[in-house]
Each structure stands twice: as C-alpha cells, then as structure tokens.
Amino acid sequence: MKARNYGPVKGQAYTRKEYVKGFPPPKIVKFTMGDTKSTFDYELKLIALQRTQIRHVALEASRVAVNRVLMDKLVNDYYMQVLPYPHVILRENKMIFGAHADRLQQGMRRSFGRTIGTAARVEPGQPLMIVRVKAAALETGKEALKRGTAKLPIPCRIVVEKLETNDAAGKVEAV
C-alpha cells in the first residue's frame, strides 16, 4: 500500500458505512484543543494549496506536531481546531506476487476490497487548522503550524488575521 494511491481525488466520495463491514475509525483523537473560552488577538489558519485526499493518520500526526509545540511554549493559553473530518472510506484489493500466488488469490473476482482507513477530501483554499493566540505568542503559533505542515502530503500556507472583539456583544470577528 502506497500513499500515492490514495492522494488523488478520483470519482465519487465513498462514505456509505452501512455497506462496509469493520472499517477502522479515524485516528484523530480530538478536534479542538486548548482554552475554548478565552479571547485571543490573532487567528492563524493553515490553508491547503492543492486538491487532494488527506489520510486520517496524516491529519493526526499534524495535529500532534502542532499541539506539542503550543503546549510546550504556551501551556494552555491557545485555541486550536482541526477542521476537515475524514469521511471517505479507503479500500484495497490485496494482491500477492511471487511463486504460487495464483493459488491464494482470486484476482478481480469479488474485488470490492477491504477497508484500510479513512481520508478527508480537501479543496484548494480550504482551511485545515485554526490556531488562536495572544499577540505575544504570534511567532510560536506560526512555528507550530509550520511543523504541522511537514506532516501533511500537500503544500500549505499560513494566513494570519487580527481578531477584533466587540466589548458590548463579546463576539470575536476576523478583520
């Protein structure tokens, strides 16, 4: 199984879980981390630059890398959210190559394939992660997202937006 087989977006998204027996659940443990109630000055977004499918293990590895940097430097003074959810079920029809392999496999007969994982479909310009930090921790947030980008199979860019707070309403808006 190679990762390049599951990166390109081909055909319809296969998400009908009632027809598939025993598909593995996504490896992503948490989608939101940090302080959810505090107010922050800046919002950093990790934006995808290509159309692809990102496997659930890559999303989890990226989340762990970003969260580790933020936890080490900021303890709990940040907010982080992973946005795409891996809905697409990936299947593989395993084939054996070598001597006497023809006795062990069926070829294309009943070739539906076994489930090997899930993936999230991503479009160009779609945000993958959001990190909110205070003004003093802006560089730490950029470094964290840069480390998370290294775990993803596509090029990404980091967009920084200043957040404005309306004191009367208590809402946070991006400028």
Domains and CATH numbers, the chain: 3-93+111-174 (3.90.1170.10)
- The answer to whether 42 and 145 have CB atoms below 8 angstroms apart is no
CA distance 95 to 118: 20
Token pair, residue 156, equals: 């990404």
Is the pLDDT confidence value at 58 over 90? yes
In the chain, the percentage of residues whose pLDDT exceeds 90 is 55
pTM for the model: 0.82
Segment 81-134, tens digit of pLDDT = 999 999 888 887 777 776 665 666 677 776 677 888 889 999 999 999 999 999
Range with top average pLDDT, 8-17, 45-54, 105-114, 162-171: 45-54
**Longest CA–CA separation in the chain, Å:** 75
